[in-house]
Amino acid sequence: MGDIKIASIADVEEIEKIPIEERLTSFNTYDLVKQGADIDPDAIALSFIMSGDSYDSPMQITYRELIAQINRTANLFYDLGIRSGDVVSYLLPNIPHTHYVLWGGEAAGIVNPINPLLEASSIRDICLAAGTKVLVALGEAPGSDIWQKVTEIRKDLPDLKTIIRMFGPSDEKEGILGFDEVISKYNGDDLDSGREIDPQDMASMYHTGGTTGTPKLAPHTHFNEVVMAQIMNQPGLAQPGETVLCGLPLFHVNGTMVTGGFPFSIGGHVVLLSPQGYRDPTVMQNFYKIVEYYKASFFSCVPTVLSVLLDIPKGDADISSLRFALCGAAPLSVELFQRFEAHADMKILEGYGLTEGTTASSINPVSGERKVGSIGIRLPYNDMKVFVPGDEGPREADIDEIGTICIKGPNVFKGYLDESKNKDIWMKDGWFNTGDLGRKDADEFFWLTGRAKDLIIRGGHNIDPAMIEEPLYQLEGVQVAAAVGRPDPHAGEVPVAFVQLQQGVEMSPDQIIKHLQEKIGERAAIPKEVFVLEDIPLTPIGKIFKPALRRTAIQYVYEKELNALEGIVASASVSVREDKLHGSFAEIRVKTAPGVSKEAAEEKIKEVLARYIIKFDLDLA
């Protein structure tokens, strides 16, 4: 745990008086995990439950066993020819073996975690971009199509030498090794390679953004990752031996670092909440019982998770061990924040981070004032500023002036693997342009107000609008097309599309969606709705004006929710404008139904709109 309790930016600056290099006790991820294991080799490192209904009968792995399996896995990869510059990609759910592959892969070469829910063509493109030499994948299993996808794409991967099947037999003729069949023959004591891992060696590469064109892969060095673990140790998020719940996927840097590398580095206990994590409804139904059973100290999540848990009764579960929930990846509604804290009687710490920053950049103080709706103050050793572009170059924004949030520090990557993706990603002097709009207040708390880039963030998952727009333009009769995010009570936002048809063409939204279902390689990116407009708004120079479309989408959602309140709302109108502090802001005018008091109507309306992130002003008549 950090030696200074962080309550304000002054505490962050006090911590930084000691250089980060002097705080590091490990300089690569292999030594990082070993360091945590040495605290108590017989302590439980991992508890794995198959479902939420069987939370009290976990498979458990000690640190001694974890390190042995990491060594064996690294030695298996070494035997297969993996060296420091070679890539191991994996398609795995949240199981203990994923950690063996992740940390063993980084000890042998470079790891490339891939979202197994992507379509086969997208997985193929990522493997090609990474130069995958070994692919580890879940074998045939009920409810999983991972192995089917592997079979479909393997012939298109010229660099692929071996496929390792998890929970399945070997097939030497097909170049397939069964992990469980072969792993026991490898040395579990140390690395056969004798490799001395340089801190600047590449450890991993994570896919980020959309899946249109050449995939964007963000490489992390070993230094990036060990620094990130040390940075997360400073605010006192967890103490050695405490329990952390992991429900986010282990193909995402939040899952691997916040509920993986960091707790392992301090000898923590990680509970894997089933192979599906938070996507498993039995996990959510039993969540509070799970917290009580394992005496968890914190969990990391996205707003979607809190939204679901808000509807689950806590019952008589004792969750007093749970100091807080970390919430990030997407903005959290202030109303949802307050309702969830009252419902669960726990503290939420909102934070902010991104793949390019190896997970986290800011957080509301553990020990000090939290500003609800903000993403907190910057973490130690992570510089964070707001810049405003200008004719003479970018300048630092004034207090509460909206600009582009930029980050810089030892946890920030050096650029995407594909050099063509690095155009305009640096604001100045090594400051990475996150593309997020925000402001910094007088206490140096940061507030998100929108996005300069067009990414749609669905439940913490980034979707590039281009992967929706390009298939739309392939549809004969479409003249202009645009995709934006529409507010959603569970996912934060979901994609919707706006289409302007060529003169004389008739096409229904259902026909357009059917076309997109056939063409889009990522199910999460298929628009929830398509709106056919006579004219899509354009800027004076003829570009599509997406802010207007986003405002239209907000207006549509809010009016739909309000008009559904029959017996309470007689009529409703919504207008959306841009606000200098909050970004999009909705002005709502409601005429209440006869016999309904303004107080009762206001309470119900705020309850319904609480799960949306857009701030609003309500005028009742």
Within a domain: 351: yes
Mean pLDDT of 11-32: 96
Mean pLDDT of 374-385: 96
Amino acid type, 255: G
The CATH number of whichever domain residue 590 belongs to comes to: 3.30.360.10
Within a domain: 446: no
Q: Are 477 and 397 in a shared domain?
A: no
Q: Which residues contact 245 (CB under 8 A, 6 or more apart)?
A: 259, 271, 273, 290, 291, 294, 296, 298, 299
What is the band of 343 on the pLDDT scale with cuts at 50, 70, 90?
Answer: confident
Q: Are 557 and 528 in a shared domain?
A: no
Q: What is the pLDDT of residues 29-75, one digit of tens each?
A: 999 999 999 999 999 999 999 999 999 999 999 999 999 999 999 99
Q: Do the Cβ atoms of 24 and 18 come closer than 8 Å?
A: no
Within a domain: 270: yes
Within a domain: 306: yes
Q: Are 611 and 578 in a shared domain?
A: yes
Burial of 58 per CB tally in 10 Å (0-12, 13-18, 19+): middle
Looking at the predicted structure, is the pLDDT value of residue 608 above 90?
Answer: no
pLDDT at 329: 66
Q: Which two tokens stand for residue 209?
A: 């953004």
Q: Are 256 and 110 in a shared domain?
A: yes
Cα 386 versus chain centre, distance: 22
Q: Are 500 and 613 in a shared domain?
A: no
Q: Which of 510, 536, 562 is the last residue of a domain?
A: 536
Looking at the predicted structure, is the pLDDT value of residue 1 above 50?
Answer: no
Within a domain: 553: yes
Q: Do the Cβ atoms of 274 and 259 come closer than 8 Å?
A: no
Q: Which two tokens stand for residue 562?
A: 């309000």
Within a domain: 449: no
Strand order in the sheet with 216-221: 176-178, 162-166, 132-138, 87-91, 110-113, 202-208, 216-221
Q: Are 354 and 329 in a shared domain?
A: yes
The CATH number of whichever domain residue 495 belongs to comes to: 3.30.300.30
Choice between 108 and 390, residue whose per-residue pLDDT is larger: 108
Q: Which domain holds residue 463?
A: 456-536
Q: Are 575 and 518 in a shared domain?
A: no
Q: Are 277 and 310 in a shared domain?
A: yes
Q: Do the Cβ atoms of 290 and 245 come closer than 8 Å?
A: yes
Percent of the chain with pLDDT over 90: 69
Within a domain: 1: no
What is the band of 539 on the pLDDT scale with cuts at 50, 70, 90?
Answer: low
What is the C-alpha R_g of the chain? 25
Q: Which of 536, 564, 587 is the last residue of a domain?
A: 536
What is the band of 211 on the pLDDT scale with cuts at 50, 70, 90?
Answer: very low
Secondary structure (3-state) at 591: strand
pLDDT at 344: 85
pTM of the model: 0.81
pLDDT at 212: 47
Q: Which of 507, 536, 565 is the last residue of a domain?
A: 536
Q: Are 349 and 473 in a shared domain?
A: no
Q: Give the HSE-up count for residue 517: Cα atoms under 13 Å, Cβ half-sphere.
A: 9
Q: Give me the chain's average pLDDT, please.
A: 91
pLDDT at 543: 64
Mean pLDDT of 331-336: 69
pLDDT at 213: 56
Mean pLDDT of 278-306: 93
How far is residue 366 from each of residues 341, 350, 354, 411, measured CA to CA in Å? Answer: 15, 10, 20, 21
Ranking 145-159, 485-499, 535-549 by mean pLDDT, the lowest is 535-549
Choice between 64 and 487, residue whose per-residue pLDDT is larger: 64
Q: Are 374 and 310 in a shared domain?
A: yes
Q: Are 149 and 209 in a shared domain?
A: yes
Query: For the chain, what is the domain count?
Result: 3
Within a domain: 431: no
Strands 296-301 and 243-246: parallel
The CATH number of whichever domain residue 296 belongs to comes to: 3.40.50.12780
Q: Are 385 and 480 in a shared domain?
A: no
